[in-house]
Amino acid sequence: MFPSNCKAVLRALDGAIIEYGQVNVSLNEKYAEFSSQFVPLLNIDTEAKIVCLEDTTETHVITGKVYLSSKNLLRIVDIKCSLMPGAENALEIPTYLNAKIYKPIVKTGLFSKKKIIHKWDNCVVISLSLNKISIRASRIMCEYEDHLKMSLGLPVFSIDTQLELKLAQNGLMFGKNSRYTYSITKISDKAKAELAEFIKHGSLELIQYLQ
């Protein structure tokens, strides 16, 4: 997702690290607020640079004019934002994509004996990263199996592609559907490259009005 609230580093325009902290970003109002236990005072109307972090990966560079500078808070306005090279390896983007999952179904046979079968069922992919995928789907019997196969095609992949998944977070109920988060455990090199390109393109779309 776009890091509207994330760890960040305040840098000098030459790239030197000034301070680590937290940044809150408003895409609509085009401002960013950097906070820390100690923020060096900067002159009003001078340019400042804030770099967003996802774990230890630098993902976005935000620049703008200093509007407010205090010992704990720096606010910059009229911001511009660019994507760092390789940011797609760490970012997650929101999506709404139709896919299919090969899910376990419990059938009760003679003498109430339970049997697990599998069938393809529809789901919606609601977020994607290189390592994780979140979906909305009718109930999945995670207590019987924590692995799934998924089939996903355009616009992420050039052809229908199967992914192997492992449950990372159990379902949260929303009406008839639940939200599940899975780790991607098996994906071909070609598919991974296409997924990275899709995440990069989606991340650039999110900041298109700040470039």
| All CATH 2.40.10.220 domain ranges in the chain, comma separated | 93-205
Q: Looking at the domain covering 5-89, what would its CATH class be?
A: mainly beta
Q: Could you give the CA distance from residue 184 to residue 132 in angstroms, rounded to a whole number? A: 5
pLDDT score at 174: 61
Whether 125 contacts 134, CB under 8 Å: yes
pTM, two decimals, is 0.87
| CA 26 centroid distance within chain | 17
Smallest CA-to-CA distance from 49 within 89, 87, 80 is with: 80
Query: How big is the CA angle at 205 (ends 65 and 202), to the nearest 5 degrees?
Result: 130
pLDDT score at 1: 57
- List C-alpha distances in Å: 181 to 89, 148, 206: 18, 11, 22
Whether 138 contacts 147, CB under 8 Å: no
pLDDT score at 124: 96
Q: Looking at the domain covering 93-205, what would its CATH class be?
A: mainly beta
Per-residue pLDDT tens digits of the chain, which is 211 residues long:
566 789 999 999 888 999 999 999 998 899 999 999 999 999 999 999 999 999 889 999 999 999 999 999 999 999 999 999 999 999 999 999 999 999 888 777 666 677 788 899 999 999 999 999 999 998 877 776 788 999 999 999 999 999 999 998 766 666 667 889 999 999 999 999 999 999 999 999 988 877 6
